[in-house]
Structure 1
Amino acid sequence: MAPTNLNTPVPGIPYFTPQHVHSPGTPKELSSKTPTLFTPLQIRNATLRNRFVVSPMCQYSAAPSGPKIGALTDWHVATLGHYAIKGAALVFVEATAVQPNGRISPNCPGLWDDAQIAGLKRVADFVKSQGALVGIQLAHAGRKSSTAAPWLATVDGPRSKRADKDIGGWPDDVKGPSGGLDQVWDGIYDSEQNRFWPPKALTTQEVREVVQAFATAAERSVKAGVDVIEIHAAHGYLIHQFLSPISNRRTDEYGGSFENRTRLLFEVIKAIRNVIPASTPLFVRISSTEYLEDTDLGKKLGSWVVESTIKVAKQLPALGVDLLDVSSGGNHPDQRIDGFNAKNYQVEIADRIRKAVHADNLKLLIGAVGMITEAEQAKRIVEQNGAVAQLENSIREEAEAAKEATDAKDGKQPLADVIFVARQFMRESEWVLKVAWQLGVDVWWPSQFMRVTF
């Protein structure tokens, strides 16, 4: 509902910022011609003002030690807040470690301590003051932890560099499903060339402690005012490492069979869902395939493929997961995909998963991510037929009215329900507004941008 006083402050924050009369990035008028991309979406009690989601993007900008270790800073307010100001519906805080040794780097954020709540709350307060929702991606890096910020790697050397104790790393506490030199992520163990530390295998008790750490971090997220929680089960980090037979060689109840390898993911989902409000949406990001099935390693050990993800996806609605964020790769350097040059390489997989889930009459939203950079491309991903009713009053009411547009009409299905965008927002923080202009959608801008006096 628009404020009646045009200079009404946003309540509940310790500084003045005006409540926008109309939420930035929303159409001035919704009609049957409005692209689905600019229609709202209701997920539990959360309402996305459009279908643009800012993906979690590592910034390596948190303190590596001391009383502010792992806490978000003004850098995060500035960067994440800017996406909210310019119309993104949901802005995700980057991969946030649930345990100290679960950070990707010493400079990554964490939520293993109550002292880290305040920094997250400050970011959440500002993002929400601009009409957006704030999400957090809870993560554990596993065997890919204790690496350095990328700019510390040599200019013409590897993309990553392992972090030793002199820069805050924890080489003796890198953990994974399995341990040993053959479990170094990049398969190289050389003091000059290696980019990752050899992991030690988590004990069964330590695995259970990881599950509890995810749940406790989720509770802290809620206390900080986060609207949406995402579990990071992709890109070769710990949960993905457990899913894959290539990185999981365990012989206990967390290894071997498909049921055992997926146990950690399902336990984390259940643990988080049990401690967060029923009104809070829960997402899972997964690497839908490892691109390893055609490699010697994949042929020998098996690998995680799209069919594996579909099997998991069909179990998620019953566990209280609302959206599957479909990514891919990251668990081994031998993967056979060039994601930087393959346009729509993950969108097609997202479409395949969505169709499989819907064929079983299951309700699970699907997010598409990866190389989404153009207006028409973004429009097509979430487009569907069907009229959108004339809308009134609040965004929540708009979402209810637009609900019809998320169902198939005349046999036409969207490829995904929302788009997750990362690098394009880094290049153009105003991308939502630019896409609106390119598609001919007249949207509201931030109040402060409507008139500038010189």
Structure 2
Amino acid sequence: MQKPLLFQPLKLRGVTAPNRCVVSPMVQYRATDGEVNDYHLVHLGKFALGKFGIVFTENCAVEPRGRVTQGDLGMWDDGQIEGHRRLVRFLKQEGALAGTQITHSGRKGSTPRSFDKPGQLGPEGAGWQKWQTVGPSELPADKGWTIPRQLEAADIEDLVKRFGEAARRADAAGYDVIEIHGAHGYLLAQFLSPISNKRNDQYGGDRAGRMRFPLAAARAVRENWPEHKPMFIRVSAVDGAGGWEVEDTVVFAQALKELGVDVIDVSSGGLTGLSTALPVKRSLGFQVPFSAAVKRQAGITTMAVGLILDGPQAEAILQAGDADLIAIGRQALYDPFWALHAAQELGCDSDFEMWTPEYGWWLDKRKNNLVGLKK
């Protein structure tokens, strides 16, 4: 019997994901000076034990002011590489591809953590301080947000180099997959949308001008990322503010494909405020139609994300040809063994053979002991 698509390998350039289950990048706010620590090893390591095919770190800033909060991971300094190496070793040891996401927050940086109390900025006693944010134009992300400093052309050229340098460090750390965060209202998305980009130079104006910096950053990453390793980019198919729509994303995806981007990670929204998806109405798989449109119209591999809760739902998305990979975010926090449970739901691991053997033999024995027992 053929395995479900969700558990069939996917070759991406010179590496192969053992299955199509992916842990989506999710910020944790637990870093100091951008460094990987024990928390990140345990947090991400459990997903590798849960047999996700690709495990992504949270977004790693390409420079300190590119963080969302001071607790974010970084990829701006060579001194950060060794911490990433330790994490990568464990993820790969458990059979997962190790992925990382690089980003710049732009005008959405220098913020409290999502769960901080009003007036609180980070952990009590940590001494976190706000910094001057930057953006394509001097427009805040929302009412009450910091007004960013408009980036000069020389600043943009410097940031392009920083994206390339971050890719070099990610390779030195041993990551198999790299993703650029170009969604959710962070810096690259700010340049793409005419709502946030009011420039009248080569980096603004029409769609081609607004795409110039994001494409330059993608080119720099590809040039500094080994040819045999795949490159993803996360996009907001619609910006949620009426400035950037699916047809724009298709054109952008086609240009990215020409630069050597392999996978479009299709999300939505987030240009203004804290939310990543408003005002896109949320329902099960609410972003899957965006993935399907980009996949079919741009002719590129896509990853679907957004309220995908179980194996049958994920398998139906793949069988319909609406995506090639399934990214699981908060549902993976709820169930770090989501991939293994999905395999059981789909009938391809009744004997716990996909589990790490230290767990699997116990669980198979337990299953046999439960036969005939009544509640």
Question: Same fold by TM (over 0.5)?
Answer: yes
Identify which of 104, 127, 145 aligns with 2:109: 145
CA distance in 1, matches of 2:191, 2:20: 31
Contact 2:30 2:39 (C-alpha < 8 Å) held by counterparts: yes
- Correspondences of 1:31-430 after superposition (within 5 Å): 31-32=1-2, 34-63=3-32, 69-154=33-118, 167-171=127-131, 173-179=132-138, 183-186=139-142, 188=143, 194=144, 196-293=145-242, 303-333=243-273, 337=278, 341-358=282-299, 364-383=300-319, 413-430=320-337
Q: 1:335 to 1:92 in 2, by over 3 A?
A: closer
The aligned amino acid for 1:174 is T
Gaps of 5+ in 1: 1-30, 64-68, 189-193, 294-302, 359-363, 384-412
Contact 1:89 1:132 (C-alpha < 8 Å) held by counterparts: yes
RMSD, aligned CA: 2.1
CA distance in 1, matches of 2:325, 2:217: 24
The aligned amino acid for 1:78 is V
Contact 2:107 2:140 (C-alpha < 8 Å) held by counterparts: yes
Helix, strand or coil at the partner of 1:169: coil
Helix, strand or coil at the partner of 2:100: strand
Q: 1:221 to 1:129 in 2, by over 3 A?
A: same
CA distance in 2, matches of 1:450, 1:345: 34
Contact 2:269 2:277 (C-alpha < 8 Å) held by counterparts: no
Q: 1:431 to 1:128 in 2, by over 3 A?
A: same
CA distance in 1, matches of 2:47, 2:169: 23
- Normalised to the residue count of structure 1, the TM-score between the two structures is 0.75
The aligned amino acid for 1:39 is Q
CA distance in 1, matches of 2:100, 2:31: 15
**TM-superposed deviation, 1:98:** 0.1
* Greater shift in the superposed pair: 114-123 or 233-242: 114-123
**TM-superposed deviation, 1:414:** 0.9
CA distance in 1, matches of 2:55, 2:276: 29
CA distance in 1, matches of 2:281, 2:247: 23
**TM-superposed deviation, 1:105:** 0.1
CA distance in 2, matches of 1:153, 1:416: 38
CA distance in 2, matches of 1:264, 1:331: 17
**TM-superposed deviation, 1:166:** 8.2
The aligned amino acid for 2:112 is A
Contact 1:292 1:336 (C-alpha < 8 Å) held by counterparts: no
Identify which of 340, 352, 357 aligns with 1:433: 340
Please name the residue that 1:22 is paired with.
Answer: none
Please name the residue that 2:356 is paired with.
Answer: 446
CA distance in 2, matches of 1:167, 1:201: 27
The aligned amino acid for 1:304 is W
CA distance in 1, matches of 2:303, 2:284: 16
Higher-Rg structure is 1
**TM-superposed deviation, 1:437:** 1.0
CA distance in 2, matches of 1:312, 1:218: 21
Helix, strand or coil at the partner of 2:115: helix
Q: 1:336 to 1:142 in 2, by over 3 A?
A: closer
Contact 1:49 1:89 (C-alpha < 8 Å) held by counterparts: yes
**TM-superposed deviation, 1:86:** 1.2
**TM-superposed deviation, 1:340:** 7.3
Q: 1:340 to 1:166 in 2, by over 3 A?
A: farther
Q: Deviations over 1:224-243 (max 9, x none)?
A: 00100001000000000000
CA distance in 2, matches of 1:215, 1:95: 15
- Normalised to the residue count of structure 2, the TM-score between the two structures is 0.91
Q: Percent identity over the alignment? A: 38
CA distance in 1, matches of 2:198, 2:215: 19
Q: Count matched residues.
A: 358
Contact 2:195 2:241 (C-alpha < 8 Å) held by counterparts: no
**TM-superposed deviation, 1:318:** 1.6
Larger RCO (alpha carbons 8 Å, 6+ apart): 1
CA distance in 2, matches of 1:423, 1:85: 17
